[in-house]
Amino acid sequence: MHLCECGSPLLVRYDLQQVKASFQREALQSRSHSLWRYEELLPIDDPEGVVSLGENMTPLLALEKLGQELGVPRLFLKDEGALPTGTFKARGAAIGVSRAKELGVSILVMPTNGNAGGAWAAYCAAAGIQAVIVMPESAPVMNWKECTLAGASLYLVNGLISDAGKIVARAISEYGWYDASTLKEPYRIEGKKTMGLELIEQLGWRVPDVILYPTGGGVGIIGIYKVIKELQEIGQLDGRLPRMVAVQSTGCAPIVKAWEQGKSESEFWENAHTAAFGITVPKALGDFLVLEAIYETEGCAIAVDDKEILEAQRQLASRQGLLVCPEGAATLCAAARLAQTGWIKKEDEVVLFNTGTGLKYPETVEANPEVLEPEDSLPG
Ligand SMILES: *Cc1c(COP(=O)(O)O)cnc(C)c1O
């Protein structure tokens, strides 16, 4: 069990005074272009023993054409699709599995909507840890396949991630396996926070005005907010905060509902369903931390519908050449909406997080090209 006695998540704390005294930006120059470069702010005892699949720094791309059209000329996209297993879940898995290995874990178990399962299965394969993964039957088929191929024990549940979570909880109490559920071990978030660290370094050690993030379990937002605070404490950032925006789907928007009602916790969302499968989380364990990050940064939460999401996915591909996942596309819809209402201003520097590659979601894309016979000619 890796929760507080009160049932809440535990967060990793560092001796930030000591880090402050020793941390030097210049030292990063000679380090690898990967999340491992931030070793002072990672919970790893032995950097030599880590499990790595090549977590390169991901590009921060200017969306010039779409930015102009939306009236947000300083619009950027951080493209996490370039990571191992195709999503930012690799960051959490790299640190989470490395730490599990340090702790001597031999079997770990987790519920997932798919991408975390794929990432943890891959890193566990590399680490020699047995992964037991439970995901909804409706998860993207690619996620089943990558888990199976990586040698994980995969089970599908006729239900949602919350149902998978219940099955996992029973297995843990029965067999004593290591619980790798979101926020039930404190290390995954340390990996995910490196998204924020990287962004800040890429911007020259400052934050943008607005960050839009597709929010499911909320670890991404919590992690980015956590690392901003850490960087402030070690004197690497001034006190300015980016307005953080949690983007959800109208088919599953518990955080949006809670934010609209000014609440500090969300309620279970019934009959959750969206094409942006990775953000189908009806009730997140860390919902109160996500809401805190939104309130503290004067951000907001916004829901967009599947039709808009798929249209935004097409736009990003046809206008900018980027094949993003539906979750990532949702952030573009949200930015468009917030620019329309004036919440995002023309001079704001805005960063969208594309959390994964669209290649993992062939079933969300419609394409009906014409089939030719060998003797046919092209219409010209
Ligand atoms: C898991 C996932 C999310 C949600 O991330 P959280 O940090 O859990 O809120 C968003 N997009 C994709 C593609 C995901 O796999």
Ligand 1: which residue has its CA nearest to atom 4?
Answer: 216
Residue 306 CA to ligand 1 center (angstroms) comes to: 16
Ligand 1: which residue has its CA nearest to atom 14?
Answer: 278
Structure tokens at 257: 């509902």
Residue 115 CA to ligand 1 center (angstroms) comes to: 8
User: In the 3-class helix/strand/coil scheme, how is 77-132 assigned residue by residue?
Assistant: EEEHHHCHHHECHHHHHHHHHHHHHHCCCCEEEEECCCHHHHHHHHHHHHHCCEEE
Cα distance between residue 224 and residue 193, in whole Å: 5
197-221 CB burial, b ≥16 within 10 A, e <16: bbbbbeeeeebbbbbbbbbbbbbbb
CATH classification of 89-187, choosing from 3.40.50.1100, 3.40.50.720, 3.30.110.30, 3.40.50.2000? 3.40.50.1100
Pocket test for ligand 1, best of 87, 249, 290 (most atoms within 8 A of CB): 87
Give the pLDDT confidence score for residue 7 in this predicted structure: 80
Ligand 1: which residue has its CA nearest to atom 2?
Answer: 278
Residuewise pLDDT in 10s, the chain (380 residues): 578 888 888 999 999 999 999 999 999 999 999 999 999 999 999 989 999 999 999 999 999 999 999 999 999 999 999 999 999 999 999 999 999 999 999 999 999 999 999 999 999 999 999 999 999 999 999 999 999 999 999 999 999 999 999 999 999 999 999 999 988 899 999 999 999 999 999 999 999 999 999 999 999 999 999 999 999 999 999 999 999 999 999 999 999 999 999 999 999 999 999 999 889 999 998 999 999 999 999 999 999 999 999 999 999 999 999 999 999 999 999 999 999 999 999 999 999 999 999 999 998 888 899 999 999 999 88
Cα distance between residue 64 and residue 312, in whole Å: 15
Structure tokens at 141: 């088929």
Q: Which residues line ligand 1 (CB under 6 A)?
A: 87, 89, 115-116, 214-220, 278-279, 325, 327, 355-356
Cα distance between residue 127 and residue 152, in whole Å: 12
Ligand 1 atom closest to the Cα of residue 217 is: 8
Beta 210-214 vs 75-79: how paired, if at all? unpaired
Give the pLDDT confidence score for residue 345 in this predicted structure: 98
Pocket test for ligand 1, best of 219, 222, 227, 279 (most atoms within 8 A of CB): 279
Structure tokens at 52: 């790595």
Give the pLDDT confidence score for residue 132 in this predicted structure: 98
Cα distance between residue 135 and residue 334, in whole Å: 28
Domain spans of the chain, in order of start: 60-86+189-364, 89-187
Pocket test for ligand 1, best of 79, 88, 357 (most atoms within 8 A of CB): 88
Give the pLDDT confidence score for residue 1 in this predicted structure: 57
Residue 54 CA to ligand 1 center (angstroms) comes to: 20
Residue 86 CA to ligand 1 center (angstroms) comes to: 12
Give the pLDDT confidence score for residue 380 in this predicted structure: 86
Cα distance between residue 152 and residue 312, in whole Å: 34
Ligand 1 atom closest to the Cα of residue 216 is: 9
Pocket test for ligand 1, best of 327, 352, 364 (most atoms within 8 A of CB): 327
CA Rg value for the chain: 20
**Is the whole model's pTM more than 0.75, yes or no?**
yes
Cα distance between residue 294 and residue 231, in whole Å: 18
Residue 380 CA to ligand 1 center (angstroms) comes to: 43
Structure tokens at 77: 């996209």
Residue 257 CA to ligand 1 center (angstroms) comes to: 19
Residue with token string 């699709």:
81
Selection from 378, 38, 17 nearest residue 200 by Cα: 38
CATH topology of domain 60-86+189-364: Rossmann fold (3.40.50)
CA distances in angstroms from 248 to 64, 94, 275, 326, 352, listed in the order given:
24, 26, 11, 11, 13
DSSP-H helix ranges across the chain: 16-22, 25-28, 64-70, 89-102, 115-127, 141-149, 161-175, 188-192, 194-202, 219-233, 254-260, 287-296, 306-320, 326-341
Residue 215 CA to ligand 1 center (angstroms) comes to: 6
Give the pLDDT confidence score for residue 300 in this predicted structure: 98
Q: In the structure, how many helices (H) and strands (E) does the chain have?
A: 14, 10
Q: Which long-range contacts (CB under 8 A, 24 or more apart) does 346-349 make?
A: 346/71, 346/72, 346/73, 347/74, 348/72, 348/74, 348/208, 348/209, 348/210, 349/74, 349/76, 349/208, 349/209, 349/210
Give the pLDDT confidence score for residue 183 in this predicted structure: 85
Ligand 1 atom closest to the Cα of residue 325 is: 13
Residue 26 CA to ligand 1 center (angstroms) comes to: 32
